[in-house]
Amino acid sequence: MILFVSVAGAQAQQETRYALLPSSAANSIFAVQTAWSPTKADLANAEAGITQIALLKAEGWSYAIHIEHPERYFRQYVPAHRAGKNILYVNAFCDEKPPAYWRKRLMIVADGATCYWQAFYDPTTKTYSHLTINARA
């Protein structure tokens, strides 16, 4: 029975398509002014609202470009402080098999178009905003 629980736990982690990274993971993108620790509820709400991404217009792109099925992407959540608020920076990618380090280090890719996107999640309002999509190669 213990072996079954261990295998089931490993399988659940393998199927989870998101990870919480430390605030310092985003230092290469923007200065993290204040560290904060999101609660399990903050992450659960971010995950529950992930389909909001499909409704957002990507900054700098035409309306024809959007993210379909954002829940199918791998997502990295990074707590940050922006404009006086605690937010989660969301970095997402569509790789079929992500690199082994994706749960520990921020994946930064320069191109890839709709396979790579980023957004901000506000845990107070439970809304996503500032969707950006990588450039095309």
Q: What is the pLDDT of residues 69-117, one digit of tens each?
A: 999 999 999 999 888 899 999 999 997 888 999 999 998 887 777 788 9
> Would you tell me how many other CB atoms lie within 10 Å of the CB of residue 83?
7
Q: Which residues of 20-50 are buried (b: 16+ CB within 10 A; e: fewer)?
A: bbebebbeeeeebeeebebeeebbebbeeeb
Q: What is the pLDDT of residues 6-21, one digit of tens each?
A: 334 444 444 689 999 9
Question: What is the pTM for the complete model shown?
Answer: 0.82
Q: Residue 82's beta-bridge partner residues?
A: 85
Checking if the pLDDT of 28 tops 80, the result is no
